[in-house]
Structure formats: structure tokens, C-alpha cells
Structure 1
Amino acid sequence: MNLPFFDAIKQLQDECLMFPAFETAYQQIEANLNLFRATGVAQNLLILGESGAGKTSLATIFTREYPKVSLPERDLIPVLHVTVPAAATIAGTVEAVLAQLGDHHPEKGTVSVKTARAVKIARACGVEMLLFDEAQHIQDRGRAHSQYFVGDWLKSFMDALGAPVTLLGLPRTQVLLQVNEQLRRRFTHRLFLSVQQRAEADEADSLRLFTSLANALPLPLDPRPYEWGELAKRLHFATDGRVAYVKKILVGSYSNAVSEACTSITVSDLSRAFSTTIWPSGVGALNPFHPSFPFRPLDRAGEPFQTGEMSGSSPSRRRQ
């Protein structure tokens, strides 16, 4: 593999497609920030999405639009992006906040001392919005009382800071809001991050997402032996319309094509990439690019898009 190959992979990874739900979520976060700047009113937002739907990309891209500014006397951080640590404790969560604020010793002090320090530094840095990514880690604390205490800390921290907050997490994050009523009242506005806006558009949306990202690669996509419409359906079942999985298949198939000195990305490359990058058991009729694939969602037990997050948390899908 040569330098142009790695440049193409990097360009693909950096590509972001503003599919409708992504753009709606971005615009809502921006509207909340503008409202706060104009009026001081803090509106909060909960953004839900399956793994790979683009939640972290959304938070990262928005944060880049409002970067930290280093002044001689202090840093200005208009948008603070914090990733909630796995199995989040109150101490671990506030330490993550302090680390992003540039505190040199985030582990020092009691929880109350750390929290007060985080609020003080955030105000000094001019924080106008908080983005809490991987919010399901708060819910994953296990028993309800543990979830409640972490959620209660988050509520108190939000109130002390007074800035708008966006929580981004898996659909099960909603359980946290069911446990903590006060937190639930602060996140009545919720959006679901999904490429699909309606069932009949699933395949077309997946193909549009795939081909738009594929434009970052120097090799064209060859649909043969399928027509574009059929390939669109197969791509949808192979990726579930999730940005991260589309990129996985593109990287894998492009790597296959380059290693074999091909002039295009073929269905055979897509098939191999699905088995190697998404689901090793996806061979034969279980591979969406195989002629015998039954055209059904791969969401059964042990399959890559296994269901079971939260009933009713995602948009309904057509079953075939």
C-alpha cells in the first residue's frame, strides 16, 4: 500500500454526509446555542441513535465549528465536548469534565470539590454549551438507585452552570430519564439520529450515503451483476444505513480492490469487506451481496444489527 492509498482512506474517514436527520440534529444544537447567546435561556436536547449512526461525529463536527481559543490570560471554550466514561460514576464523570476543561489534576478532591471546580473553570472559560457523548454509560450504572444518583449529579451540574446541554447516546439512554424524573423534565426535546426517515426510502438513502462517501475514493463502484436498485437494497441490509458501517465496507472493499490491482470496486469486493469488517459469519446466503441472500434485516440474535435496545426507540422498518 502506497501513500495515495492511505491519503484516500484518510479522506474517506474525514468525509461527513449531512443526511436529513444529521442536519436536523446539527441545526437544533446550533439553534439552542444561538438562543442561549441571545437570551440566556438554556434549552436541552437528547439525541439518540444506534451504534455507528454518527452521534460522535455530530458532536465532533459541531465542536470544531466553535473551537477553543487560547488567550494570554485564559482559554475560551464555547462548546465543551465530554465523553462520559464507561460504567460512569459521579467522580469519573466530573473528572472527564475537568480533563476537557484543561484541569491539571482532575482526580484531586471530593466529588463536591471537583464539581465546584468544574463549574468555576467552565464559567471562566466561557462555556456556552455542553455536549455529553456516550450518555448511555450513565444509564449503564446498573441498579436504578445508582443511575438516579449519577443522573441527579448531572441535573445539579447543569443547573449550576446554566448552559444548554446536549446528551448523545444509545436508545437505552431513555431508561435513565425514566429513573430520574427531574432529569427527564430537562430533556423533553428528543431526536433520533438515523439515515432513514421513512421505510420506503431506506434503500435509496443507503445508496445515496454510500455513493456520496465513495466519491472520496479514486476507484469507481461497479454494481454488476446487479442493477443499481438491487445493489441499493443489498447495501442497506449490509450496513443498516449506519454511517460507520458504510465507511467500514468502503475501506474494506477499496483495500481489496487496490491489493488486486482492480480498476473499480466490485460486488465481490463489497462481499469480502462485509465478511471481514462487519460480520465474519456473514458468508454464503447470510452475506447481503450473495445471490441467495433472502433480503431481510440482519437483526436476529448473533447478527450484526441485533435488536433489543429499547422497544419503540427507533423508527419502524419494513420487514421483508
Structure 2
Amino acid sequence: MMEKLLSFIYSLDDSYLMFPAFEKAFNKMIENLETFRKTGVSQHLLITGESGSGKTTLANLFVQNYPRISHPDGEIVPVLYAAVPPAATIAGTAEAILTQLGDPAPSQGTVSVKTARAVDLARSCRVEMLIIDEAQHIQDRGKNQTQYFVGDWLKAFMDALKTPVTMMGLPRAHHLLHVNEQLRRRFTRTLKLAAGSGKNEANEAESLELFTSLVKSLPVKLERDPYTWGEMGLRLHFATGSRIAYVKLLLIGAVENLIQMGDSALRVTHLEHGFITHIWSDGMKELNPFHSAFAFRALDHVGEPFHRQDVEINLSSRKRKKI
């Protein structure tokens, strides 16, 4: 039993959850790629979502479905994935793309030389779709004029590449489309990656669905007492913000506590402890969604786990620790 529980924890990071918004975005990306293959027409897509909503997971899953292929004439890269570096410059963005294309010296050359090299390499690697992650780093770069120049370079690169582009980022990445009209015309289709439709009822039901879909492979029973399933959904929504990353963190913490306690079923007390150890160390009593005294409010005040800036810092620090 212990080995099965530990194996379950290790497998969580590699598990994918096809909640409706995730599946819709995934299918739209497939549609854009297949349309390009059949007609040569490039359709572009902007996908936004809060930290932990599954954007990078979506990108990784899509790339896995269209893997690189070794060929005598060189590597074939059907889907090219590149993450925009923080405080993105045009040169830095070009270097990120060159690195993913296997360029031996991505930092060498002027911006125009790097750009031309990236286009040539993409063509030789038969790239059919470009996925640009962390697009908000372009928006974060300086004032509107600087953002416009980076966005204008991206537009020109897309035109030279002539393949569909999927751009992903935090909600503020939308600002890029307001700053650069030419870029806005290319991304007429946008999708938001979030559980539920924005209504509490949908979020509660989907938070419970996300959680129980992971628990199905758990070799122990999940007990909801003393709460109803409806109330559990509401508490899970407040505990995770209906974000995949936090659903996984909560479950990892709960299962680790179950193992420490030597229990035979996953209970609310384990979830309460997992919330403290893996999501928010100050989440006690009325600030812990699984405690009987919980205040039933969004934990999005300054210093709380779902305050927007704190969410980004928290998830980034966890990624660094994992590495």
C-alpha cells in the first residue's frame, strides 16, 4: 500500500486533466494545425489563464502529440515550443526560439541575423506550428512603445514563418493586442483557460470533478464526512482557486499526511493539513477551507495564496525547488 501511495504522488506531476476549457483549447490547436496541413492557411490563437491554470501543461501535452522526428537530413520539429524569457527583448525572444531549434550559437549575430536564421531553421525543421509561452513577459517589457516594438517583431516573424501560432500567457498578455494593432489582427481568436464559466456553481462542481478525477487512481477511499459532496466542491474551489496546479499540490500534501498518520482512507483532516503544508502555511482555522470555522470567502487578499502577485511568486518558487 505504501509503495502504491508513493507511486501515486510521483505520478501526479505527469497527469493531465481534460477539463472543458483545457479540452476546448487543445482541440482548437489541433484544428489550426490540421487546417494548415490541408490548406496552408495559418490561424492564430491566444490562450490566457491565471498561474497554475494549466497553460504550460497544455503546451507540453500538445508537443507530445506531435513529437520531434529524427531524419537523415536533420531533425523534423512539427510543433516548436518556446517560452519568452522574463523582461523579454527582441534579441532574447529570438534566442529562445533559436535554442529550441537546436542552433549551436543562439546568442551570436544581430537581431536581423538571428531572426533570419530562426526562419531558415524553422523551415528546414519543417515546423508546422509555433507555441509561444509566457507571452506576458513581452507585455511586462517597459512602456507601450517598447512592447509595440517587440510585438511588431513577433508579427513580422510570424509572417515570415507562415505557420499557425499559439500564444499563451497570463491575462495581462491581452494588453499586447491593444498596444499593437497589427498583432491584434492576427490573434482574433482568444480562449481563457479556467475551470468553470466564472460562476461559483460551475467552479465548485468542476473543482470537485478535477479533484475526484485524480483521486480515482488513489489506492485508498476518499471520505467527505462531515461535509456533503456539494460543500466539498465549494471548499475545494476556495482551497485551489479551481486551478490544476493547486489541486495537485493539495492532493500531494493530503496523501503525504495520510501516509504519516498511517490511515487507510483520505479524509478532510488530511486535506486541511495538506492545504497548510503545500498551499499556505498561514491557512489556519477560518482561513483553511477544510476547517469547520472557515469563513467561506476567496483567499485573494494581499499575502493570501490567491492574491495574483502571490500566486505567481508561490508557483515560481515551487518550480525552482523542484529543479
TM-score, normalization by structure 1 = 0.93
Once the 2 structures are TM-superposed, how far is the Cα of residue 218 of structure 1 from its aligned partner?
A: 2.0
Q: Distance in 2 between matches of 1:154 and 1:273?
A: 42
Residues 219 and 254, structure 1, Cα contact 8 Å, conserved in 2: no
Q: Which runs of 5+ in 2 are unaligned?
A: 311-323
Alignment of structure 1 residues 226-265 onto 2, 5 Å: 226-265=227-266
CA drift at 1:122: 0.2
Tell me the secondary structure at the aligned position of residue 57 of structure 1.
helix
| Structure 1 outlier segments of 4+, above 3 Å | 1-6
- Alignment of 1:183 onto 2:174: no
> Which residue is 1:215 aligned to?
216
Q: How far apart are the structure 1 equivalents of 2:308 and 2:96?
A: 30
Letter in 1 for 2:95: E
CA contact (8 A) 2:2 2:259 kept: no
Partner of 1:84: 84
- Match in the other structure for 2:160: 160
Please tell me whether the aligned partners of residues 22 and 193 of structure 1 are also in contact (alpha carbons under 8 angstroms): yes
Shift of 1:217: 2.4
Segments of structure 1 that go 5 or more residues without pairing to the other structure are 310-320
Cross-structure match for 2:36 = 36
Aligned length: 309
Q: Is this contact kept in 1: 2:5–2:255, CA < 8 A?
A: no
Contact 2:4-2:219 at 8 Å conserved across structures: no
Q: Secondary structure at the match of 2:82?
A: strand
Question: 1:34-113, aligned counterparts within 5 Å?
Answer: 34-113=34-113
Query: Counterpart of 1:69 in 2: which secondary structure?
Result: coil
Q: Distance in 2 between matches of 1:216 and 1:12?
A: 10
Amino acid at match of 1:205: E
The secondary structure found in structure 2 opposite 1:270 is helix
Equivalent residues of 2:63, 2:81 under 8 A apart: yes
RMSD: 1.6
What is residue 27 of structure 2 aligned with on the other side?
27
Preserved contact between residue 12 and residue 217 of structure 1 (Cα < 8 Å): no
Q: State how far apart, in whole Å, the 2-side matches of 1:68 and 1:308 are.
A: 36
What does the per-residue CA deviation read over 1:236-293, in whole Å, with 9 as the maximum and x for residues that have no partner?
1100110000000001100110122111111111111111211122111011111111
Whole-angstrom distance in 2 between the partners of 1:308 and 1:185: 30
* TM-score when normalising by structure 2: 0.92
Deviates more, 1:8-17 or 1:113-122: 8-17
- CA separation in 1, counterparts of 2:215 and 2:230? 17
In the TM superposition, residue 188 of structure 1 has moved relative to its aligned partner by: 1.2
Q: Which moved more, 1:122-131 or 1:211-220?
A: 211-220
